[in-house]
Chains A and B, each alone.
Chain A
Amino acid sequence: MTKDLEHNFVELLEKHQNIVHKVCRLYTNNYDAHNDLFQEITIQLWKAYPKFRGDAKFSTWMYRVGLNTAITLYRKSKRTINTQAFDSVQFKISAEDYDDTEEQQLKLLYKAVHQLNDIEKALVFLYLEDKNYREISETLGISEVNARVKMNRVKTKLKTILNP
């Protein structure tokens, strides 16, 4: 029984692992910290899995557990202080996509997002993942109106970080 559960879980997570990687990418800034957070989110997902009911989509459920772990449960290890730019290590820009100004802008944008606080990052993350305000508000536990208001503030904040 447990073996079945383990097998199902690992298979599902293997398939949807990108969600966890994306949370890690936003909340950490180096390779070790990324792996550390990935590990903790996996454990939290696994611990919560027996209570996972099929009525929610596994991926939707993962967003919640992943973000909760990153915002609330995870204790940043000392390694996180090492601020080697994660993007330059992990994500090589492919030649055909290369556009100098846009690429420069994107670099600055990713940097700006990293400067946001944990809650703002969560909002941005869900927005980037194309979640609607209802889902955002439910994941964070705030009202939909307030999620919208905050999102607008984050947009302004990003603008100011980019154009001081």
Chain B
Amino acid sequence: MDELELLKKDWQKKDGDYPKLSYNDIYKMILKKSSSIVKWIFIISLLEFVFWSLISFLLKDSKSMQRFQEYDADYILIPLAVLSYVILAYFFYLFFMNYRKISVTDSAKVLMENILKTRRTVKQYVAFNLIFLVLSVIVVLFIEFDKDQLLINQAQQAAANGEAFKFYATIIITTFLLLALAIGVLLLFYWLVYGILLKRLNKNYRELKKLDI
């Protein structure tokens, strides 16, 4: 006999061998909290939105930003701020709509797709923030070189000593190294958190997709 048929016969025969939970046991269970990955993704995603919004708020109020006010750089800072809010709202809306689409009664494949889509929205938001961060640093560097008296004096001094290139290169390279380090740490963190959380889902989704090729 086919192995599976043998197993099926036994499987169906064992129908009475399972534990029997009482009405009260089950009732108690529905009062407990879920610990599904969807719940974790939702919590972590919300934290990410809060984290990046806080970062932009804190940066705005920082001392160096207040000094910026004196440089008449509003023409560039205000559009940047507005842009970042519009994009936050857009991503949050997308995230929320995708999240609402997640339904445990869909087929396994659709369910996985919807979870991954929700995740992707947050990933794109984070990518946007990182790009925004790099762009902001470039803009800030330009404005500093252009308006910061202290920096201008130092640059002139360096130029007088014939070290203008070294001066600019040091500042630019240091800034970018720090930026790369910060981004590296963040990406490592993401890789760890989502790697652990989504490892199984990704594996199963790949398996299901492989079946439909």
**Number of B interface residues, CB 8 Å?**
51
A59 touches B (CB below 8 Å): no
Which listed residue (B8, B26, B105) contacts A48, Cβ 8 A?
B105
**Complex formed: what's the CA distance from A159 to B200 in Å?**
26
Residue contact B105 to A119, C-beta cutoff 8 Å: no
Which listed residue (A128, A140, A150) contacts B107, Cβ 8 A?
A140
Chain B residue numbers with a CB within 8 Å of A64 are 104-105, 107
Residue contact A44 to B104, C-beta cutoff 8 Å: yes
Chain B residue numbers with a CB within 8 Å of A22 are 11, 18
Residue contact B26 to A142, C-beta cutoff 8 Å: no
Residue contact B17 to A91, C-beta cutoff 8 Å: yes
Shortest beta-carbon distance from B19 to chain A in Å? 6
A85 touches B (CB below 8 Å): no
Mark A3-17 against chain B: 1 for CB-CB distance below 8 A, else 0: 000100111011001
**Complex formed: what's the CA distance from A9 to B23 in Å?**
10
- Range of interface residues on A (Cβ < 8 Å): 35 or more
How many A-B Cβ pairs are below 8 Å?
A: 160
Q: A119-B208, A119-B211 are in contact. Are A141 and B110 (CB under 8 A)?
A: yes
**Complex formed: what's the CA distance from A155 to B1 in Å?**
12
Determine the residue in chain B with the shortest Cβ distance to A24: B18
A124 touches B (CB below 8 Å): yes
Residue contact B111 to A44, C-beta cutoff 8 Å: no
Selected interface stretch from B29-37, B132-140, B153-161: B29-37
A81 touches B (CB below 8 Å): no
Residue contact A158 to B11, C-beta cutoff 8 Å: no
Shortest beta-carbon distance from A25 to chain B in Å? 8
Residue contact A10 to B23, C-beta cutoff 8 Å: yes
Which listed residue (A102, A118, A122) contacts B200, Cβ 8 A?
A118
What are 13 A-B pairs with beta-carbon distances under 8 A? A22-B11, A42-B29, A43-B34, A65-B104, A72-B111, A72-B112, A105-B6, A109-B6, A110-B7, A113-B7, A140-B109, A146-B211, A159-B3
List the 6 closest A-B pairs by CB distance, nearest first: A141-B109, A141-B107, A73-B36, A21-B18, A46-B30, A42-B29
